[in-house]
Each structure stands twice: as C-alpha cells, then as structure tokens.
Amino acid sequence: MKKALSIILIILMAAGWIIGLFGAGSVKPIKDQLKLGLDLKGGVYVVMEAVTDVKGEELKKLMAQTQQIIERRVNAMGLSEPIVTIEGEKRIRVELPGAKDAEAAIAAIGQTAQLEFVLADGTVVLDGSQVADAGVQIDQQNGGYAVSLKFTSEGSTAFKDATTKIVSGGVPTSTTEKYGTVNGNIIMIVLDGKVISAPGVSEVIPNGQAIITAGTGGFPQEEATTLGILIRGGALPVTLKEVQTSIVGPTLGLDAFNNSVLGGAIGIACIMIFMLLMYRIMGFAANLALLLYVILVIWVIIFLGAVMTLPGIAGIILSIGMAVDANVIIFARIQEEVLNGKSIRVATDQGFKRAMATIIDSNSTTIIAALVLYQFGAGPVKGFAATLMIGIIASMFTALFVTHTFLGVITEYKTLATRKWFGIKEDSKNVQI
C-alpha cells in the first residue's frame, strides 16, 4: 500500500511540475496563471482618509459603504485584480495593478457615485440624493430577506408619480441601446451606469416607502445587505482626502519578481543539498516531499485566486524553511531511536510519532500569529499572512504524511535501511536506557 501511494505521490508531483512549467491542453503554465500584485506587476496605489467625526459602529458602517462604492468604481475601470481594503478606522487603500495614470485613478475613485431610478423607456425619475435610507428586513410574505427603501419628501413625490404612471400603463415595454429590452412595469436602479436591481411595480406607492423583494424564498441576507448598501450609497457617503500615492513601474515590478524567484530557487537548492549531506536517504525523501510541497502551495494559491506579492513570496520561502525544520526534528528523533537500540523500521515509526506533537504545537502558534496578521494587517501584510498559512498547512502535510510514506517504503529495503544511509556513523554507540 505504501509503495503504491509513494508512486502516486511521485506521479502527482511530476505532473504538477510539468504542467506548471509547460502547461497542458487548456491548462496554462503557472507563470500565466499567477495573479501578480501591484509590487510585481506595476501600477498605482492610493491611500485615502475619510473626513468625518463619526465614530464606533456608525463609522464602520460608513467605511463599509464607501468601500463597496469604490470597489464597483475600480472594477468598472477594467483593471485586473484591483484591491480595495479598509486600513485602520478611517482609511481606504486602493491598489490598481496595471494603472499608469495616478491622477486619473484618484479622480475616478473619489468622484461622486451616480444612483438613478430609471423607467423602461430610459426616463430618469429620481436620483440618489432623493433616497433617505435603504435597509434590510425580514420578508414576511416570501421568506428570506427584502430591501426597504425610504425617500425624501421630494423623492416620495417623484416615486409616487412614477409608480402611478407605470400602474396606469403609461410606460410601454421599451428597447434602448443602453438597457436593452425592459418591461414597462420595471423601475431600474442604476449605479454608475450599471443596473444593480430591476424590481417590478404592482401598485402605486404614495408614502415614500417601498420594499424590494425577490419573490418566493426572498433575498439571501448577504445579497440584500449588499444591495441596501449600494442604494444607500447613491452618493459617496463621506469626503475622502488623499494621504499617500505611489506609482510602481512594470519594469521595477518584473525585476523584483524575477530576483525573488531566483533567490527562492537558490535557497531551495541549498536546502536540498544540505539535507542530502546531513541525512542521506532521509534527506532524499525530504527533498521529494519538498518538491511536492512547493508545487502544491503554488497550485493552491492559483486555485484560491490569491494575488501574489513580494511579501507573499517571502511567506512561501519562510514556510519552506519551516517545512524543512519539521523534517529535521523528525530525523533527529529517528536517529535517537536507532541509537537507543531500535531497528531502522521501528525507529522511523517511533520518530514520527514522538515528533508529531512538537511539530503540531510549533506550527499552530505560527498559524495563530498569521491569523492575527491577516485579520488586522493590510495590503502586503495580508498577502504575507495568507501565503504563510497556506505554506504551514502544506508543510505539515508533506512532513508528517508524505515524508513518512516515502521513508516507510525505504525501510522495506535492507540495503537502504542501514545506519550509514540514515546519516548515523557506524561506530556510534547505542544509548543505554
């Protein structure tokens, strides 16, 4: 069973590297699939601070609303992998990989959002300034959640007139270049030129309060909350001032990426040579596991859609060192067991069992630290923490399972299961217990 499993692991490792380097069929090589961050691809990043005296939960609500609007705006700019994060209490960090004009980017981010309520024929009946509030409530009739709307006095009048016109049949089903074919009973809610909701009108709404439902089952809570935030944020809810701007050239980013990859490759090569010299056949098993570890981490990052940054590369390299460290602890325990008089096969099993608790404890504390960094950090710090956590989990898998599987097969061969091949000098004396 162990032999078959070892063969499968080696095949998976080889396939992962071959496909990763050269691609296969519709699967592109790793270099074409990795999403590079601002520091590697080049672009613009802006840190903006909210000018407000609001505090506590109200401030959190305000910043979340602002973040939602800015995210929609930068996505509309057509840039790849824009990142919008809240830093601290009042700051928003916007990273725009591929952007070249910092002033244009800042102007686009900070401009007032345009929210409009539009009839099927393209007539704008009211705008975001006439929306007093939008929230989420339980949909008693359909289940799930609904979005509640409340208009200003001016907006109430405009909305009453619009719904009266629709109910009386005054708005025909229309086809426009901008919105396509829209049924006459629809009022489209449009943010920055894009329809975010298109509810139907079934009756005149005279009191300035309306409910948007999703029919049977209602909205999921998250979807209703997002829609409410976007409608409530018809205009950017707070003034933002620029506090930091930086432009990273694509050449500088590419050089940094190439140098980081080269440095990582040299480091891995040195580690593999060291493991072979110090631990012989155990080092060979660890090197196979390390090759599987590296390609596994990279594919997981691609699968999760994570953005690779320089700190992220540092997190991967650091976790590689931790993966090797786990193997060193295991191998030292195996050698101790052999010197205690046990056979190579028994010493291998005992070494893994006795080292397991230490490895799990040490890696758990590092994961806790990485979680804290991810939760409270921002930008590159989050990238470092994310790749570090992925790397630690993968390193524990390869050290405790993959290396153990390979060594289990090796100990079946008497010519290899010797002190010499396990890095123990033949004249080393057994330790008396």
pLDDT for the residue numbered 106: 65
Cβ(80)–Cβ(35) below 8 Å:
yes
pLDDT for the residue numbered 433: 36
Which amino acid would we find at residue 215? G
pLDDT in tens, 240-266: 888 887 777 666 667 777 888 888 888
For residue 95, the cross-strand partners are 45, 83
pLDDT for the residue numbered 226: 76
pLDDT-flagged residues of the chain (< 70): 72-81, 98-114, 233-237, 249-253, 378-379, 426-433
The rounded radius of gyration (Å) of the Cα atoms in the chain is 30
The CATH architecture to which 2-34+249-410 belongs is Up-down Bundle (1.20)
| pTM for the model | 0.62
The CATH architecture to which 115-232 belongs is 2-Layer Sandwich (3.30)
Q: What are the sequence ranges of the domains in the chain? A: 2-34+249-410, 43-111+238-247, 115-232
Question: What CATH number belongs to 43-111+238-247?
Answer: 3.30.70.3400
